[in-house]
Homo-oligomer: A and B are copies of this chain.
């Protein structure tokens, strides 16, 4: 049975470097990491996975809590988190469950009771659910992506400003009848980010003296959701808006498909703006507010690593900007 010293010798590095590479603690270059892990494999070196954890008190694992993987935003984010964790030699423990579901509550209980991670990245946590308060009981540093919570670092898109800029773009083009497409049937129950987007839309409308024209049309954040909701909204030519801000690009694309089916010209009769710069946005010529979920995921890992290395490091609170990307779905009011 080979030892750590054998692995270090074969890889041509010190024992401490070999240990760092195999445990993923401290800095090791990608090249060294590859050489050491290869040497370990070739020698059949077996470090008991639990042993390093007991010795260091570290699991070299980060828990990622995600509401779902089947949306562009979350999938991109997850890819960014994975890439950055891999760079740091850290494993990713996934806890993937829909908000408010029974499975999700159970998943969190499970995660908290096991605490098999050195830190947590929690995505799209709703403050009312008190999930962060519960997670803090596990006494691990936490970074949230989305709403800020006491005791955790956070990264969020400036949702209010994003929707504000998008609405202003439509107003600048001369539109006065602009609807917001997204959120639940009762806007009071909108999630944190959606509520801020609605707020930004309403503020921009009010600043332009258009508060009476503001209307919020509930729609799911998906292509079929946007399609269904836009079908109702656009069906009546008399009450149809000339501008539409969708809560996300998937909803916007659904609305564009519905409009085409109804032979409503975009942007001739209807201007549409989304939020995301989804992979489909370019194909649909969709004007949108670009955000970078993959980069948000990478940043979350870096913020978490700071606090994993130094638990007394101050909490960070990052607010990310988005940028207007003008394509062919918006034009001056006809």
Binding site for B on A (CB under 8 A): 22, 24, 30, 33-34, 37-38, 40-41, 44-51, 53-54, 59-61, 64, 68-70, 72, 74-76, 78-79, 82-83, 86, 89, 91-97, 103, 106-107, 109-110, 112-116, 134, 137, 222-224, 227, 254, 257, 260, 279-280, 282-283
A-B contact pairs, 25 of them (CB 8 A): A33-B106, A44-B137, A46-B115, A48-B54, A49-B53, A49-B114, A50-B50, A64-B94, A68-B75, A68-B79, A69-B75, A69-B78, A69-B79, A70-B72, A79-B96, A82-B94, A86-B97, A86-B107, A91-B116, A92-B95, A93-B93, A224-B279, A224-B282, A227-B283, A254-B283
Q: Are B51 and A113 in contact (CB under 8 A)?
A: no
Q: Are B70 and A79 in contact (CB under 8 A)?
A: yes
Q: How far is the CA of A38 from the CA of B114 in the complex (A)?
A: 12
**Dominant secondary structure of chain A at its interface with chain B:** helix
Q: Are A93 and B91 in contact (CB under 8 A)?
A: yes
> Nearest B residue to A139 by beta-carbon distance?
B46
Q: Are B110 and A89 in contact (CB under 8 A)?
A: yes
Closest A-B pairs by Cβ, 4 of them: A70-B75, A50-B53, A50-B50, A50-B54
Q: How far is the CA of A64 from the CA of B282 in the complex (A)?
A: 32
Q: How far is the CA of A116 from the CA of B112 in the complex (A)?
A: 19
A53 — which chain B residues lie within 8 A by C-beta? 49-50, 53
Count chain B CB atoms within 10 A of each CB in A68, A69, A106 and give the residue with the most: A69
Q: Are A279 and B222 in contact (CB under 8 A)?
A: yes
Q: How far is the CA of A95 from the CA of B93 in the complex (A)?
A: 9
Q: Are B93 and A110 in contact (CB under 8 A)?
A: no
Q: How far is the CA of A96 from the CA of B80 in the complex (A)?
A: 10
- Once A69-B69, A113-B40, A114-B91 are accepted as A-B contacts, the answer to whether A280 and B50 lie under 8 Å apart by CB is no
A41 — which chain B residues lie within 8 A by C-beta? 109, 112-113, 134, 137
Q: How far is the CA of A114 from the CA of B46 in the complex (A)?
A: 8
Q: How far is the CA of A227 from the CA of B222 in the complex (A)?
A: 19
- Once A89-B110, A137-B41, A279-B222 are accepted as A-B contacts, the answer to whether A59 and B49 lie under 8 Å apart by CB is yes
Q: Are B96 and A78 in contact (CB under 8 A)?
A: yes
User: Known contacts A50-B54, A69-B74; can you find 17 more A-B pairs with CB under 8 A?
Assistant: A33-B106, A33-B109, A41-B113, A41-B134, A49-B116, A50-B50, A50-B51, A50-B59, A60-B114, A68-B75, A69-B78, A78-B94, A82-B94, A91-B114, A93-B94, A224-B282, A260-B260
Q: Are A97 and B82 in contact (CB under 8 A)?
A: yes
A129 CB to closest chain B CB (Å) equals 16
Q: How far is the CA of A110 from the CA of B254 in the complex (A)?
A: 41
A134 — which chain B residues lie within 8 A by C-beta? 41
A86 — which chain B residues lie within 8 A by C-beta? 97, 103, 106-107, 110
